[in-house]
């Protein structure tokens, strides 16, 4: 029998029971739509996270202190073995470095004439912080390297911090007291929002040297150097690229060797960590990928339920149409003709259901994104995945009823009431 005729017959049979066909397809429609929407949501979340991370500057290498091998205590326990001087060493000895930013953080109370805030996150940085971390100054200016070197008592406020401290007043030129140190406000950062779990807008930025000398316990600094939390190394993509045969990994390795030598530790026992943005994105991605496949599986279960619905209806249909099967057999339909007829109906149900589900999934992703404000990204492969599984399910769950129909004895089938 020709496929086109098969499809025509199957289509005709489905049209004779429009409501039933639609209800049967509903399971597949919901399943396919669910797979597409779930994947769109998780892909949207993933893309948002990725954007957030890259929005903090690109081509970055993060050198952080690690405490795994050294148990330091006291206020400086934020830092492992990383010291301020390491940054200068990296700048001097590693090629391909465009900029370096050093940061050390602490938490202090901040007072103005009007307000007192406790536990404000204080971030001491060097001058290139805004450019390396892709942040902009909204009002006034950031501090320069000279001011860092001279321990100038100035501060730049995060966007929401400025509002909390000064309200509608112009903060520039005002004085804030951080712990016991009075700082003059020279700038306010642009709004950045929450990245990960860090609120960039609630922080106070000040020269690194202020934090190191005024707010940290630096009794041993003379012997051991000023401990810092993190060194950002921005790599110059002009020098470090595939054409020059130099990769980010080379730079990372050089930094590791240099620091290991300076700290007199082996690479295995390093008191620091060197990671890249890619590592962070990768870690985030593996989390969201797990989340995504979980969602897809949950949605997939509804596809299987839809498939069982198809099988159920096809079994009912075979019983109901036993006489029709007998008639067809008596005029010359072979078992495989009958099998194909019912298989075609099951396939058509799931394919049409799949198509409607695709439309519903795409529309649903968009509507969900609009309504919830969450970002949704429709992944083309998810459409094929959902549609492909719908077809497979149709064939799988359609086979048993079709086979049952094909095995009917013509005499029994004709006699069936």
| Contact flag: residue 411 with another protein (CB under 8 A) | yes
The residue within the footprint of another protein, chosen from 19, 242, 331, 371 (CB under 8 A), is 331
Specify the residue, 219 or 323, whose C-beta has the smaller distance to another protein: 323
Q: How many residues are present in the chain?
A: 417
Taking CB under 8 A as the binding criterion, the range among 123-131, 195-203, 236-244, 329-337 that sits at the site for another protein is: 329-337
CB of 309 to another protein, least distance (A): 24
Backbone angles phi, psi at 181, to 5 degrees: -105, 130
For residues 149 and 72, give the distance between their C-alpha atoms in angstroms, rounded to a whole number.
27
CB of 400 to another protein, least distance (A): 19
CB atoms within 10 A of CB 228: 30
CB of 331 to another protein, least distance (A): 4
The residue within the footprint of another protein, chosen from 3, 71, 173, 332 (CB under 8 A), is 332
CA distances from 312 to 30, 42, 317, 343 (A): 17, 33, 9, 13
SS3 for 31?
helix
Specify the residue, 278 or 330, whose C-beta has the smaller distance to another protein: 330
CB of 356 to another protein, least distance (A): 25
Taking CB under 8 A as the binding criterion, the range among 1-9, 41-49, 63-71, 222-230 that sits at the site for another protein is: 1-9
| Contact flag: residue 319 with another protein (CB under 8 A) | no
| Contact flag: residue 5 with another protein (CB under 8 A) | yes
CB of 404 to another protein, least distance (A): 15
CA-nearest of 211, 192, 96 to 151 is 211
For residues 57 and 55, give the distance between their C-alpha atoms in angstroms, rounded to a whole number.
5
Tokens standing for 13? 């049979």
Number of residues that bind another protein (CB under 8 A): 22
| Contact flag: residue 328 with another protein (CB under 8 A) | yes
* Rg (the chain; Cα; Å): 33
> Scanning residues 335 to 364, which ones bind another protein (CB under 8 A)?
335-337
- Please say whether the beta carbons of 259 and 272 come within 8 A: yes
| Contact flag: residue 203 with another protein (CB under 8 A) | no
Specify the residue, 141 or 323, whose C-beta has the smaller distance to another protein: 323
Taking CB under 8 A as the binding criterion, the range among 181-189, 288-296, 324-332, 397-405 that sits at the site for another protein is: 324-332
- Please say whether the beta carbons of 278 and 43 come within 8 A: no
| Contact flag: residue 7 with another protein (CB under 8 A) | no
The residue within the footprint of another protein, chosen from 311, 333, 379, 402 (CB under 8 A), is 333
CB of 365 to another protein, least distance (A): 39
Specify the residue, 214 or 339, whose C-beta has the smaller distance to another protein: 339
CB atoms within 10 A of CB 341: 23
Specify the residue, 2 or 222, whose C-beta has the smaller distance to another protein: 2
The CA dihedral of 41, 43, 45, 46, to the nearest 10 degrees, is: 170
CB atoms within 10 A of CB 195: 14
Specify the residue, 327 or 355, whose C-beta has the smaller distance to another protein: 327
Taking CB under 8 A as the binding criterion, the range among 41-49, 113-121, 152-160, 321-329 that sits at the site for another protein is: 321-329
Alpha helices by DSSP H, 99-143: 129-132
> Residue written as tokens 């396919």?
32
| Contact flag: residue 282 with another protein (CB under 8 A) | no
SS3 for 374?
coil
CB of 359 to another protein, least distance (A): 30
Specify the residue, 93 or 337, whose C-beta has the smaller distance to another protein: 337
- Please say whether the beta carbons of 175 and 112 come within 8 A: yes
For residues 127 and 132, give the distance between their C-alpha atoms in angstroms, rounded to a whole number.
10
The residue within the footprint of another protein, chosen from 22, 327, 351, 355 (CB under 8 A), is 327
The residue within the footprint of another protein, chosen from 58, 323, 372, 384 (CB under 8 A), is 323
- Please say whether the beta carbons of 124 and 105 come within 8 A: yes
Strand 272-276 with 154-157, pairing? unpaired
Specify the residue, 155 or 343, whose C-beta has the smaller distance to another protein: 343
Running DSSP on this structure, what letter comes out for residue 242? G
Tokens standing for 371? 């309504």
Which positions touch another protein (CB under 8 A)? Answer: 1-2, 5, 16, 323-324, 326-337, 409-411, 414
């Amino acid at each position: 029998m020709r496929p086109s005729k098969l499809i025509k017959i199957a289509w005709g049979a489905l049209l004779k029971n429009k409501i039933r066909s639609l209800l049967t397809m509903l399971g597949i429609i919901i399943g396919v739509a669910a797979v597409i929407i779930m994947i769109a949501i998780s892909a949207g979340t993933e893309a948002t996270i990725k954007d957030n991370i890259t929005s903090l500057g690109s081509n970055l290498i993060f050198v952080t202190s690690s405490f795994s091998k050294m148990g330091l205590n006291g206020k400086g326990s934020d830092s492992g073995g990383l010291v301020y001087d390491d940054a200068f060493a990296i700048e001097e000895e590693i090629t391909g470095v465009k900029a370096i930013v050093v940061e050390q953080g602490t938490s202090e109370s901040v007072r103005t004439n009007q307000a007192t805030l406790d536990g404000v996150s204080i971030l001491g940085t060097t001058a290139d912080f805004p450019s390396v971390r892709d942040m902009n100054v909204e009002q006034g200016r950031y501090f320069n390297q000279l001011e860092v070197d001279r321990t100038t008592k100035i501060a730049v406020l995060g966007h929401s911090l400025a509002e909390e401290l000064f309200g509608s007043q112009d903060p520039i030129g005002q004085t804030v007291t951080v712990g016991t140190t009075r700082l003059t406000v020279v700038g306010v950062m642009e709004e950045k929002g929450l990245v990960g779990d860090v609120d960039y807008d609630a922080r106070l930025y000040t020269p690194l040297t202020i934090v190191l000398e005024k707010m940290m316990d630096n009794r041993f600094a003379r012997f051991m150097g000023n401990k810092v939390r993190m060194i950002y190394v921005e790599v110059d993509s002009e020098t470090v690229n595939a054409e020059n045969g130099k990769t980010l990994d080379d730079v990372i390795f050089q930094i590791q060797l240099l620091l290991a030598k300076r700290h007199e530790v082996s690479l295995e026992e390093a008191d620091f960590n060197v990671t890249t943005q890619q590592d962070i994105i990768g870690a985030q991605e593996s989390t969201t990928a797990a989340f995504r496949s979980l969602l897809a599986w949950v949605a997939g279960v509804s596809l299987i339920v839809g498939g069982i619905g198809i099988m159920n209806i096809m079994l009912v249909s075979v019983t109901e149409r036993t006489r029709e099967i007998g008639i067809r057999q008596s005029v010359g339909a072979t078992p495989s003709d009958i099998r194909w007829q019912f298989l075609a109906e099951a396939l058509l149900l799931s394919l049409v259901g799949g198509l409607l589900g695709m439309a519903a999934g795409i529309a649903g992703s968009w509507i969900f994104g609009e309504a919830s404000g969450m970002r949704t990204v429709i992944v083309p492969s998810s459409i094929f995945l959902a549609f492909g599984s719908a077809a497979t399910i149709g064939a799988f769950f359609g086979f048993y009823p079709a086979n049952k129909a094909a095995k009917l004895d013509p005499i029994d089938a004709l006699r069936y009431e």
